[in-house]
């Protein structure tokens, strides 16, 4: 998929897919990219239009709310871009390299407790 509209709307010079940086589920797909603003993660739905925009804009707002609490590390949201030609909507965040959480389960539990109480 070409993301020229993302580059234009977020003022990026380039986007180059990261090897192995792909993800997805039953509703959305995602891909990690190198860019002139660091490594980014783009997430999009196969659906287009207002429902996809509402879902991904809501996720952006949720990530920003978590960021604002300074309790749990989550991807920093950078924006939501929409392709005027196709209606496709893309959430753009920083790309986080996720490793195993086994050794950090207690720390994560404490952070989530602080999040809930913030």
5 CB burial (10 A radius; 0-12, 13-18, 19+)? middle
Q: What is the pLDDT of residue 27?
A: 82
Q: Under a CB-based contact definition with an 8 Å cutoff, are residues 69 and 118 in contact?
A: yes
**Closest to 41 in 3D by CA, of 56, 20, 22, 69:** 22
Q: What is the pLDDT of residue 37?
A: 93
What is the C-alpha separation between 103 and 106, in angstroms, rounded?
8
The structure tokens listed for 112 are: 């989530």
Q: What is the pLDDT of residue 105?
A: 86
Q: What is the pLDDT of residue 35?
A: 96
**Closest to 44 in 3D by CA, of 61, 63, 25:** 25
How would you write the pLDDT of the chain (118 residues) with one tens digit per residue? 679 999 999 999 999 999 877 777 778 899 999 999 999 999 998 787 788 999 999 999 999 999 999 999 999 999 999 998 888 999 999 999 877 777 888 888 899 999 998 8
**Closest to 55 in 3D by CA, of 86, 22, 88, 23:** 88
Give me the domains of the chain, ranges plus CATH numbers. Answer: 4-116 (3.30.200.20)
Q: Under a CB-based contact definition with an 8 Å cutoff, are residues 5 and 81 in contact?
A: yes
| Bridge partner list, 41 | 32, 93
Q: What is the pLDDT of residue 100?
A: 74
């Amino acid at each position: 998929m070409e993301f020229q509209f993302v580059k234009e709307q977020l003022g990026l010079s380039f986007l180059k897919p990261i090897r192995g940086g792909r993800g997805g589920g039953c509703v959305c797909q995602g891909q990690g990219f190198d860019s002139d603003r660091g490594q980014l993660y783009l997430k999009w739905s196969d659906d287009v239009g207002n429902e996809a925009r509402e879902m991904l804009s809501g996720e952006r707002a949720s990530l920003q709310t978590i960021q604002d609490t300074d309790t749990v590390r989550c991807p920093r949201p950078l924006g939501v871009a929409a392709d005027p030609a196709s209606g496709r909507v893309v959430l753009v965040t920083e790309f986080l390299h996720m490793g195993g959480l086994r050794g950090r389960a207690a720390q994560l539990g404490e952070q989530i407790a602080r999040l809930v109480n913030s």
